[in-house]
Amino acid sequence: MRGVVLQRHQQGDGDKGGDDGVIDEATLRAAMLDANVPTLLMVLVQLSGDRRWLEEPYRPSVGRGLSDNDSGGLPDVIQDEIRAAAVATILAWRDGAPIDEVRADRIVDATGAEHEVDVIVVATGFDVLHFLTTYELRGRDGTTLREVWDDDASAYLGLAVPGFPNFFCMYGPNTQPGHGGSLLFVLERQMNYIRDLLLRMWRNDVATVECRRDVHDRYNKGVDRAHEDMVWTHPGMETYYRNTRGRVVVNLPYRNVDLWHMTARADLHDYVVEHTVPVEHAEVRG
């Protein structure tokens, strides 16, 4: 099967290379001097989709065995060509080449190069710490949630944020299960809580709810306190669960049974509410 990777959007914290985590050209060229040539041929085929690298004069002439086979039995001039092509292809993969046209059996990138493919895989990656990267959400004062969160996202029960009335997110900050079980359980509990909150809004003629700042802060202080005794905050531990401040923003520190109780019943007193009728005529009902 033929395929091609045209663009790599993100790299994880563990990637090697420059200060930004992206491999630099000098390091790549130095690594190529000692690279295994047959392996480079497979890299070229996988990243470029060009199958000519499997044919003469590039086909390795030394069979597999226990002896060292870095050269593939190929002449030096062919090895140099393969190494140079591998550098160029990997750099193009690193920097990306936007698709200009999709045809029946190939794609054409912005440079005009054609790549024969059987399958096109769209794999844009994900940004674990920056929860909002694809759309803009503005709160009551016009500030975007992206600005409020940056890489230090927090929410009450992982779903409600002060300053953003009637906004509920699922699988938000600190909701990744950390004690086994299924993510579906977390989503079901959050949906149960949101449904209960909406029902109470309807029963009490409430048009708008906004999580109270003190409720939000108290909850997240508890989250941080619980994480202090867990492995993800240990100074000898490296994990993408932590942000640049060292705070765990991904995982839920509580057991599933704890989450079940926390989300069993919504409480309007945890929110600043705006009624559809004058407040002097309204009362909170269960």
What is the average pLDDT across 250-257?
93
Q: Are residues 81 and 206 both part of a single domain?
A: no
Q: Are residues 166 and 267 both part of a single domain?
A: yes
Q: pLDDT tens, 64-108? A: 555 556 888 899 999 999 999 999 988 877 777 678 888 988 888
Percent of residues, the chain, with pLDDT higher than 90 = 49
Q: Are 270 and 216 in contact (CB under 8 A)?
A: no
In this structure, is residue 248 part of a structural domain?
Answer: yes
Domain boundary among 116, 134, 158: 116
- 51-to-2, 43, 69, 117 alpha-carbon distances in Å: 8, 11, 21, 11
Q: Are 253 and 226 in contact (CB under 8 A)?
A: yes
- Alpha-carbon span 239 to 13, nearest angstrom: 8
What is the average pLDDT across 20-44?
84
Give the burial class of 173: count Cβ atoms within 10 A of its Cβ; 0-12 exposed, 13-18 middle, 19 or more buried: buried
Q: Are residues 208 and 259 both part of a single domain?
A: yes
Alpha helix segments (H runs only) across the chain: 25-32, 37-48, 76-95, 145-149, 183-203, 213-227, 256-262
Domain boundary among 116, 133, 164: 116
- Alpha-carbon span 188 to 250, nearest angstrom: 18
In this structure, is residue 131 part of a structural domain?
Answer: no
What is the average pLDDT across 121-142?
78
Q: Which of 265, 237, 241 is nearest to 252 (CA)?
A: 241
Question: Residue type at 164?
Answer: F
Q: pLDDT tens, 16-25? A: 344 445 678 8
Q: pLDDT tens, 156-194? A: 999 999 999 999 999 999 999 987 788 999 999 999 999
- Residue 269 — very low, low, confident or very high, per pLDDT cuts 50/70/90? very high
State which residues form the domain around 45.
25-116
Residue 135 has pLDDT above 50, yes or no: yes
pLDDT of residue 11: 39
Q: pLDDT tens, 188-220? A: 999 999 999 999 999 999 999 999 999 999 999
pLDDT of residue 201: 95
Number of domains comprising the chain: 2
